[in-house]
Amino acid sequence: MLRIFVFFFLVQTVIFSVSSPPVSISDDQRIQHASQTLNALQRLLDFFENDAKDINPDGVFCLRVAQGQLNALSQSLDSSTQLTDQKHIIQSFSTRIDRIVKKSIQQLVDTDSAYFKRFSRLISREFVVEYRPRKLNQTLIERNQEKDSFFDAELSDQCFSELLSQMNAPSCSISNLCWKKMTAQMTSSYRLTHQLLWLLIAQDVHCQNADLVSNRSYLEDFFCANIYEDANFNINNHICQDLFLEQLLLCSVIGYEEFLRSDWLGTILTWQDPQYNCFNNASEVSISSRHLLVEQIMAHECLSHKSGLAAGVLATYARYYLQ
């Protein structure tokens, strides 16, 4: 309680000094939500810092996504006339993530070589995608149809590798198989989120493939309209917390702000372990294979991927409230 109060106090009066008095209740609420979010993120980073050696590549990747969001927020605060991050808290969180990730990468180099090597370029730096605030397009929702949730992890990894091997290359080729699988309709669950993730990774590695560039905006609209339906179902039925966090993270980092609902934030905050500050609930976990976005159990039954996703989600909410 004290801690929340202290942080809240800092956020309101020191870190984010508002140049003019808040004009509406909603400005006030925004600051309040942001302080709750940053407080939760700070505790989560405490957890990661204490157990950095046990974070798997998937958890590291999510922390890089969180870092990208924090860096973008920090830049926007630097040029803001309304809010000032006087103690550079946002930048210090980003620096902290960098330190945590470097520690865990040192460990991964030794213990997880093949899988780690495949994705080492992806997690060597912050993850950056364009944030463009936009609305969901309801007409793109595929209703009352049988969807395919089968997730072929090997194929998915292969298509991610295809992109990563062309990082910053002047031209970028995509195999027919990957294009077909990664843009297929009528999919759901992790299969669907990984189709979107593939698009985001393409952007992060600056893949300038013509088909991809001309269809990106439509595909993002299509994926996120359907992911929203899926996410809403999961949270309303109290199932699949990890999948829900992944759905929220991937669509919100590119600007589908309808995902950043304050009632959803409230629910997510209740999932954080009050003692260990991580995200756990191992009853949901199925550790099938070592492919991108798989789970690993850390100290105190904490979950690496789920806690990483939560870090990304909290950073994205903070950006949304403060930028």
Ligand X SMILES: *[C@@H]1O[C@H](CO)[C@@H](O)[C@H](O)[C@H]1NC(C)=O
Helix pair 189-204, 210-236: axis angle to 10 deg? 140
Give the footprint of ligand X on residues 124-183 (CB under 6 A): 137, 139-140
**Chain position carrying tokens 């990747």:** 61
Residues near ligand X (CB under 6 A), total = 14
Shortest Cβ 312–ligand X spacing (Å) = 19
Q: CB 104 → ligand X: shortest distance, Å?
A: 26
286: contact with ligand X by CB under 6 A: no
Return the HEC string of the chain: CHHHHHHHHHHHHHHEEECCCCCCHHHHHHHHHHHHHHHHHHHHHHHHHHCHHHCCHHHHHHHHHHHHHHHHHHHHHHCCCCEEECCCHHHHHHHHHHHHHHHHHHHHHHHCHHHHHHHCCCCCCCCCCCCCCECCCHHHCCCCCCCECCCCHHHHHHHHHHHHCCCCCCCCCCCHHHHHHHCCCCECHHHHHHHHHHHHHHHHCCCCCHHHHHHHHHHHHHHHHHHHHHHHHHHHCCCCHHHHHHHHHHHHCCCEHHHCCHHHHHHHHHHECCCCCCECCHHHCCCCCCCCCCCCECHHHCEHHHHHHHHHHHHHHHHHHHC
CB of 138: closest distance to ligand X in angstroms?
8
Binding map of ligand X across residues 242-281, x = CB under 6 A, - = no contact: -----------------------------x---------x
d(CA 132, CA 139): 20
- If the CB atoms of residues 91 and 281 are measured against ligand X, the closer one turns out to be 281
Among 20, 168, 283, 286, binds ligand X (CB under 6 A): 283
Closest contact distance (angstroms) between CB of 284 and ligand X is 5
Q: Does 238 bind ligand X (CB under 6 A)?
A: yes
The least CB distance from residue 200 to ligand X, in Å, is: 18
**In whole angstroms, how close is the CB of 6 to ligand X at the nearest point?**
27
At a CB cut-off of 8 Å and minimum separation 6, what does 107 contact? 52, 53, 54
8 counts as binding ligand X under rule CB under 6 A: no
| Beta carbon nearer to ligand X, 10 or 269 | 269
- The residue within the footprint of ligand X, chosen from 4, 186, 239, 287 (CB under 6 A), is 239
Contact residue for ligand X among 49, 78, 211, 258 (CB under 6 A):
211
Does the footprint of ligand X cover residue 236 (CB under 6 A)? no
Q: Confirm if 228 and 258 have CB atoms less than 8 A apart.
A: yes
* Residue choice 19, 168, 214, 286 for contact with ligand X (CB under 6 A): 214
Smallest distance, ligand X to C-beta of residue 242, A: 9
Q: Does 209 bind ligand X (CB under 6 A)?
A: no
Cβ closest to ligand X, residue 203 vs residue 241: 241
Q: Which of 71, 241, 247, 316 binds ligand X (CB under 6 A)?
A: 241
Stretch that binds ligand X, among 13-21, 69-77, 233-241, 259-267 (CB under 6 A): 233-241
Q: Which residues make up the interface to ligand X (CB under 6 A)?
A: 137, 139-140, 211, 214-215, 238-241, 271, 281, 283-284
